[in-house]
Structure 1
Amino acid sequence: MAPQTQKQWTVQGIAKDFSNLTLNKEAAIPELGDHDVLVKFHGASLNYRDLVIAKGQYPFPQRDKVVPASDGAGTVEAVGTKVHRFKTGDKVVTLFNQAHLSGSVDDYIITTGTGGVIDGALQQYGAFNEDGLVALPTNLDFVEGATLTCAGLTAWNALFGLKPLLPGDWVLTQGTGGVSIFAIQFAKMIGARVIATTSSKAKADRVKALGADHVILYTEDENWGETAKKIAGPRGIQHIIEVGGPNTMTQSLKAIGFDGVISVIGFLGGVKGEKQPSTLDALTNICTIRGVYVGSRAQFEEMNRAVEANNIKPVVDSKVFTLDQVKEAYEYQWNAKHFGKVGIAIE
């Protein structure tokens, strides 16, 4: 039997210093509806999205006093009377948009974001509709599995959701965040070639160890887009993981090949650039510029089969935090001290 109370974080209001993160050590255990599953969380991970929700900069729906973090993994503690997808003891991972089962998003689906509107993983127990969970890959532990919900699925959707990446294609990744690292792993899994950009030689060595064929230090090469295209040859790059926003899009456009896809998944470099790219750039470069909002449950399950079959291990930063250290974890990621995913172990 689950206890009557639990530890639970909420985001209340907006604050630049994450002082709006509040820990309640005697929060109620959620009650279950007929189709709900009670998950005892053992692992969670943070995304840039979690940080900007706390700072009031998130462009999609969010609810005040929400339990943060889309990414969580744990065991099924109890199930509602009409649940058929899971049973007690199963190991599960949360789905980012709880209503995104397949196909495209719609106006309703984007209101079902875990950790934005629906209570997320920074708590000991959470209740979710059975449709909003997937099975944990058998080769991963809980913290590793918790990295898949947002970063893993976003990378998978970017590379395979619109125009599937093929063996021999070129992929360009930016930085060493979770999506970019997953993209390197998925690209090498199928025999594609990778050019990674990063800020330091130390990080360059680490992405090379993950399989990147070439690494460009953007701190030393301001025209890294042109450099990447020269490396890739006449076809240019087929897929670019664009995480920087307007400040890196100009270089991405220089690197992309004809009929290539630039998947816009973030704005780490800010939302204002010296030169704002325009929609005409998609025409002049004959490419597709696509916004990627994570992915569906069907894609999640497809990705998990590949993770198991190829024994892909998510890259988790060496410093793993506890549930009591959530504020420290937020600051750690905000200050870019991490490599890969910031994990949180939950007892």
Structure 2
Amino acid sequence: MRNEVLVKIKAVSLNYLDGIVANGSFNDKLEFPYIPASDGSGIVAEIGPDVTQWKIGDHVAIQYVQKWTKGAITKESNSIRVAWQTPGVMAEYVCIPEYGLVKSPGNLSFEEAATLPIAAVTAWHALINQAHLQLGQTVLTQGTGGVSLFALQIAQAAGARVIATTSSDEKAARLKQLGATAVINYNNYPDWHQQVLTLTNGEGVDITLDIAGTATIGQSLLSVKENGFVGTAGFITGTSLPLDIHAHKINMSFLRIQGLAVGSAESFTALNRAIEVADIHPVIDSVFTMEQVRDAYQLLERGKYFGKIVITVP
């Protein structure tokens, strides 16, 4: 096509979404042949005659929601997602409309840049565009998946205090190395929101991103202060939200519950500028080759990773 860009893919990263697509629990009507993976980075190899934004040799990352170029999302801009309505990027070359790419941060490798399109953009859109994170606020991150780790890094770079939750003391130590002020092991404290309140002098945090859904949303709401922000950024324990308006202080505390699903290319570009300025480097758990794709998916399914899982493309 005249406005398309041929990208030589150099790396892809996996998300929770990729796992549930592969096991059939997300979409049981998947059409084959199917190319998986939504997140990728690479080099512009060729450009169509009408392309003006890119030149051969540019380092780019894939914009996940292809038509969401800027502003608030609409039905039209939300209509095409990579590896849903289009083929995925687990390939040597992909053709992408010129508006469906962003410039990769200059301080990142291809492997690092491949981790950004879903997890990092979700964290940025949530904290910066939706919650309007301010210097000196307190952010609660949950777990050690991609969105949560990017949220920790972005919040710290923005001058916020970070409290994190996790499942082990080993992970807690790594979260502190990344900049978390305090870490709560939720296996030791099942009612972890009480620990959040203790750490904030009974007030609660300004912002949290709820990753697990059903099992955690109640405690997420009880962890934030008046006018607090709770972003729903995942559903690994289920999609139902068992909430009580009074018990969870939704009305009386003027809480905001915001649905999240990545962000625009404009947001992605702003994120990448911040990554360069603050020299943020994504946390990568493991890097696999294309011959080891099955191993990468098996690690994703087990859930025993810290950060992102990446696959290099020859």
* Common fold by TM > 0.5: yes
**What count of residue pairs does the alignment treat as equivalent?**
312
Alpha carbons of 1:66 and 1:285: their partners in 2 closer, same or farther (altered >3 Å)? farther
Residue 72 (str. 1) matches residue 40 (str. 2) = yes
TM-score in terms of structure 2 length: 0.95
**1:39-67 CA distance string (max 9 Å, x none):** 001111000011112233338x9755432
Aligned to 1:10: none
2-side partners of 1:64 and 1:262: how far apart?
Answer: 37
2-side partners of 1:279 and 1:93: how far apart?
Answer: 41
Aligned to 2:187: 219
Aligned to 2:299: 332
Alpha carbons of 1:262 and 1:62: their partners in 2 closer, same or farther (altered >3 Å)? farther
Q: Tell me, which stretches of 5 or more residues in structure 2 are unaligned?
A: none
Residue 47 (str. 1) matches residue 21 (str. 2) = no
Which range moves more in the overlay, 113-122 or 82-91? 113-122
1-side partners of 2:307 and 2:12: how far apart?
Answer: 14
Aligned to 1:277: 243
2-side partners of 1:168 and 1:179: how far apart?
Answer: 21
CA RMSD of aligned residues (A): 1.8
1:303 Cα deviation (Å)?
A: 0.5
Aligned to 2:308: 341
How do 1:1-347 and structure 2 match up within 5 A? 33-58=1-26, 64-271=32-239, 276-278=242-244, 281=248, 282-317=250-285, 319-347=286-314
Which range moves more in the overlay, 136-145 or 263-272? 263-272
1-side partners of 2:70 and 2:133: how far apart?
Answer: 20
1:244 is aligned with what amino acid?
A
2-side partners of 1:56 and 1:129: how far apart?
Answer: 28
Q: What is the percentage of aligned positions where both structures have the same residue?
A: 38
Aligned to 1:28: none
Alpha carbons of 1:213 and 1:62: their partners in 2 closer, same or farther (altered >3 Å)? farther
1:284 Cα deviation (Å)?
A: 3.9
1-side partners of 2:31 and 2:79: how far apart?
Answer: 10
**1:140-159 CA distance string (max 9 Å, x none):** 00010011100000000110
1:324 is aligned with what amino acid?
E
2-side partners of 1:100 and 1:220: how far apart?
Answer: 42
2-side partners of 1:221 and 1:161: how far apart?
Answer: 32
1:124 is aligned with what amino acid?
E
2-side partners of 1:110 and 1:155: how far apart?
Answer: 18
1:330 is aligned with what amino acid?
Y
Of structures 1 and 2, the one scoring higher in RCO (CA 8 A, sep 6+) is: 2
TM-score in terms of structure 1 length: 0.86
1-side partners of 2:65 and 2:177: how far apart?
Answer: 33
1-side partners of 2:255 and 2:31: how far apart?
Answer: 36
1:40 is aligned with what amino acid?
K
**Cα contact 1:62–1:117 (8 A) shared by 2:** no
2-side partners of 1:265 and 1:339: how far apart?
Answer: 18
1-side partners of 2:203 and 2:214: how far apart?
Answer: 24
1-side partners of 2:224 and 2:95: how far apart?
Answer: 43
1:244 Cα deviation (Å)?
A: 0.7
**1:152-208 CA distance string (max 9 Å, x none):** 000001101123111111101110000000000001101100110000011001000
**1:124-148 CA distance string (max 9 Å, x none):** 1000000000011000000100111
Aligned to 1:11: none
**1:245-265 CA distance string (max 9 Å, x none):** 011011111111111110101
**1:238-281 CA distance string (max 9 Å, x none):** 110100101101111111111111010101123357xx125664
